[in-house]
Chain A
Amino acid sequence: MRWFAQLRMRMQMLFGRGKAAVRLDEELRYHLEEQIAENIAGGMSAEEARYAAMRAFGNPALLREQARATWSWTWLELLLRDVRYGVRTLARTPGFAAVAILVMALGIGANVALFTVVRSVLLKPLPFKDPDRLMMLYENSSEQFPYNAIAGGVFAEWQKQNRSYSNLSLIGDAELNLSGAGGQLPEKMRGGNCTWNFLDTLGVQPALGRNFTSADDQLSANGTVLITWGLWKRRFGGNPAILNQSIRLNGRPYTVIGILPAWFAYPDASTQLWTPVYHDKPAEVMAKVGFHMFGAIGRLKPGVAAEQGVADLSVITRRVHDQHLDNPLVSKAANSLPLLEDMVGEVKRPLYVLLAATGCVLLIACLNVANLLVARAAARRKELAVRTALGGSRLRLLRERLMESFLLSAAGGAAGLMLAYGAVKWLVHTRQDMSRVESIHIDGFVAAVTAGLIVLCALFAGLISSLSTKNNQLLVSLQDSARGSSAGHARARLRMTLLAAEVGLTVVLLISAGLLLKSYEHLRSSDVGCATRNVLTMQLDVFGARYRQPAQLVNFYSELLARVRALPGVDAAGFVQAVPGQGYWGDDAFAIVEHPPLPKGQAQFAINRWADPGYFAAMGIPILRGHTFDPNRQLDHANQAVISDSFAKQYFPAEDPLGKHLHFEDRDYEIAGIVADTRYLLAKDPKPMQYYPLLTGLQNNGALVTRSSRDAEQLALPVQRIVQEMDHDLAVSDVLTMDQLLGKSTQDESFNATLLVAFAALSLLLAGVGLFGVLSYMVAQRTSEIGIRIALGAQREQVLLKVLLDGLRPALFGLALGLVGSVGAARLIRSMLFGTQPLDPMVFADVSAMLLLVAALACLVPAWRASRLDPMQALRTE
Chain B
Amino acid sequence: MGKPSDLVQGTLDLLILKTIQLEPMHGWAIAKRIQQVSGEVLQVQQGSLYPALHRLEQQGWIKAKWAESETGRQAKFYALTAAGRGQLEKETSNWNRLSAAIDLIVTEA
Contact = CB atoms under 8 A, between A and B. Distances in A.
A binds B: yes
A35 B59 CA distance: 28
Given A63-B47, A66-B51, A71-B54, A34 B71 contact: yes
A2 B83 CA distance: 6
Interface string B56-88: 011110010010010101111000011100000
B99 to A, nearest CB: 27
Contact of B46 (A2, A3, A58): A58
A5 B50 contact: no
A26 B74 contact: yes
Contact of A67 (B28, B51, B71, B83): B51
Contacts of B50: 24, 27-28, 31, 63-64, 66-67
B54 A5 contact: no
Contacts of A34: 28, 71
B71 A9 contact: no
Please indicate which of the listed interface residues B27, B45, B46, B48 has the most CB atoms of chain A within 10 Å of its own CB: B46
A58 B73 contact: no
B28 to A, nearest CB: 5
B101 interface: no
B97 interface: no
B46 A70 contact: no
Contact of B58 (A27, A58, A72): A72
A585 interface: no
A650 interface: no
Contacts of B74: 26, 30
Contact of B60 (A2, A24, A26, A27): A2
A709 interface: no
Nearest to B45: A58
Contacts of A220: none
Given A9-B58, A34-B71, A71-B54, A63 B48 contact: yes
Given A5-B81, A30-B73, A70 B47 contact: no
Contacts of B18: none
Nearest to A33: B73
A13 B60 CA distance: 13
B13 to A, nearest CB: 12
A58 B49 CA distance: 11
A58 B1 contact: yes
B50 to A, nearest CB: 5
B57 A60 contact: no
A123 B55 CA distance: 49
B26 interface: yes
Contacts, number: 82
Nearest to A8: B60
A2 B80 CA distance: 12
A69 B75 CA distance: 22
Contacts of A71: 54, 58
A651 interface: no
Given A27-B27, A30-B26, A58-B45, A63 B75 contact: no
Give the contact-size bracket for chain B.
20 to 34
Contact of A69 (B47, B51, B69): B51
Contacts of B47: 28, 31, 57-60, 63
A5 B83 contact: yes
A195 to B, nearest CB: 68
Contacts of B59: 6
A867 B53 CA distance: 67
Contact of B48 (A23, A26, A58): A58
A31 B27 contact: yes
A27 B45 contact: no
Contacts of A60: 47
Contact of A23 (B51, B73, B76, B83): B76
A70 B54 contact: yes
A31 B46 contact: yes
B60 to A, nearest CB: 4
B46 A57 contact: yes
B46 A35 contact: yes
Contacts of A58: 1, 45-48
A654 interface: no
Given A23-B76, A35-B46, A30 B28 contact: yes
B81 A70 contact: no
A490 interface: no
Contacts of B76: 23, 26-27, 30
A181 interface: no
Interface string A1-25: 1110110010001000000000110
A241 interface: no
A2 B27 contact: no
Contacts of A9: 57-58, 60
Nearest to B83: A2
Contacts of B75: 27, 30
Interface centre among A26, A34, A56, A68 (most CB of B within 10 A): A34
B66 to A, nearest CB: 8
A810 B53 CA distance: 59
A511 B76 CA distance: 73
Interface string A58-84: 111001101111111000000000000
A2 B31 CA distance: 26
Contacts of B60: 2-3, 5-6, 9
B67 to A, nearest CB: 12
Residue with the greatest number of chain A CB neighbours at <10 A, chosen from B1, B57, B82: B57
A24 to B, nearest CB: 8
Given A2-B60, A30-B75, A70 B28 contact: no
A70 B51 contact: yes
B27 A70 contact: no
Contact of B55 (A31, A35, A63, A70): A70
A26 B69 CA distance: 14
B78 to A, nearest CB: 10
B89 to A, nearest CB: 14
A265 B52 CA distance: 65
A1 B83 CA distance: 8
B59 to A, nearest CB: 7
Nearest to A63: B47
A446 to B, nearest CB: 39
B24 to A, nearest CB: 14
B1 to A, nearest CB: 7
B68 to A, nearest CB: 12
Interface in B21-51: 26-28, 31, 45-48, 50-51
B79 to A, nearest CB: 12
A5 B60 CA distance: 6
Contacts of A64: 50
A696 B83 CA distance: 98
A71 B59 CA distance: 9
A12 to B, nearest CB: 10
A570 to B, nearest CB: 90
Interface string B1-21: 100000000000000000000
Contact of B45 (A1, A31, A57): A57
A68 B59 CA distance: 14
A9 B69 CA distance: 24
Contacts of B31: 31
A64 B50 CA distance: 8
Most buried by B among A5, A59, A63: A5
A58 to B, nearest CB: 4
Contacts of A67: 50-51, 53-54
A60 B57 CA distance: 20
A149 to B, nearest CB: 72
Contacts of A69: 51
A27 B26 CA distance: 9
Given A2-B60, A3-B60, 7 more contacts: A56-B46, A57-B45, A58-B45, A64-B50, A66-B48, A69-B51, A70-B54
12 contacts: A2-B60, A5-B60, A6-B60, A23-B66, A30-B69, A30-B75, A31-B27, A31-B47, A34-B71, A56-B45, A57-B45, A69-B51
Please give me the 8 A-B residue pairs with the lowest Cβ-Cβ distance, nearest first: A58-B47, A70-B55, A66-B51, A2-B83, A63-B47, A5-B60, A57-B47, A70-B54
